[in-house]
A = this chain, B = another copy of it.
Amino acid sequence: MPEPRRRADAVRNREAVLDAAETLFSRSGPAEVSMNSVAAAAGVGKGTVFRAFTDRTGLLQALAERRTAPLRAAVTGGPAPLGPGSPPRERIPALLDALAAAKLENLSLYRALEEAGAASPYQSASYAWWHTTLRDSLARLTGGQDAGFLAHTLLAAVRADLVTHLRTVEELPEEEIRSRLAAHVRTVLEPLSS
């Protein structure tokens, strides 16, 4: 596979689109960010956006991936408590707290991502990755039993629309949300035999 060599203007445009989309999402809800507006904000034609990212979901994924690259790196190869070496009882709360923090920082992006057009969030590679990571850590405590289901329920507790509801309707501050989540994780982890 001899890497087909990207043209300079193509990579420049790709970056511009990501930047524009990032700004738009930071300023308004997911519904206001249409592909048209992204293209316009990037000073680029619509076709360029779709060529670079295939479809809306592709753009959202690329954006989310770029924003959370450090987090993913910390989880896959970093030190404790996020890194793969950490003991589950430290790592699992850390994972969920980090994920919650990431969502809180990029709420409308994550909302857009989880609405997902047609496909449910459960189809995405990103969800699969988090689920696997979490499940494996959990399995070291449970012996594997129901770790998968438990991982799903924990991840469901940090879904972007729920977090949004907690922030905007129940008006909980970030730290409050994170501490309640932490308490919940503690509760769930408690009874697991080491």
**Chain A residues in contact with chain B, CB under 8 A?**
31, 111, 115, 118, 120-123, 146, 148-150, 152-153, 156-157, 159, 161-162, 164-166, 169-170, 180-181, 183-184, 187-188, 190-191
Question: How many copies of this chain are found per oligomer?
Answer: 2
**Closest Cβ of chain B: how far from A171's Cβ, in Å?**
12
Query: With A and B bound together, what is the CA distance between A122 and B181 in angstroms?
Result: 18
Please tell me if the beta carbons of A152 and B157 are within 8 angstroms of each other in the complex: yes
**Closest Cβ of chain B: how far from A31's Cβ, in Å?**
6
Please tell me if the beta carbons of A184 and B150 are within 8 angstroms of each other in the complex: yes
| Secondary structure call for the A interface | helix
A152-B162, A187-B191 provided; 17 other pairs, C-beta below 8 A?
A31-B118, A111-B120, A120-B164, A121-B161, A122-B164, A122-B165, A123-B165, A146-B183, A149-B166, A150-B184, A152-B165, A152-B166, A153-B153, A153-B157, A156-B156, A156-B157, A159-B159
Please tell me if the beta carbons of A162 and B169 are within 8 angstroms of each other in the complex: no
Q: Which residue of B lies closest to A187 (CB)?
A: B191
**Of B156, B165, B170, B183, which is within 8 A of A159 by CB?**
B156
Q: Which residue of B lies closest to A149 (CB)?
A: B180
Q: Which residue of B lies closest to A30 (CB)?
A: B118
Q: Which residue of B lies closest to A170 (CB)?
A: B148
Query: With A and B bound together, what is the CA distance between A188 and B149 in angstroms?
Result: 14
Query: With A and B bound together, what is the CA distance between A190 and B115 in angstroms?
Result: 34
Please tell me if the beta carbons of B149 and A184 are within 8 angstroms of each other in the complex: yes
Measured between beta carbons, the chain B residues less than 8 angstroms from A165 are 120, 122-123, 152
Q: Known interface pairs A115-B115, A183-B146, A188-B188. Does A162 touch B156 (Cβ–Cβ under 8 Å)?
A: yes
Please tell me if the beta carbons of A146 and B180 are within 8 angstroms of each other in the complex: yes
Please tell me if the beta carbons of B152 and A122 are within 8 angstroms of each other in the complex: no
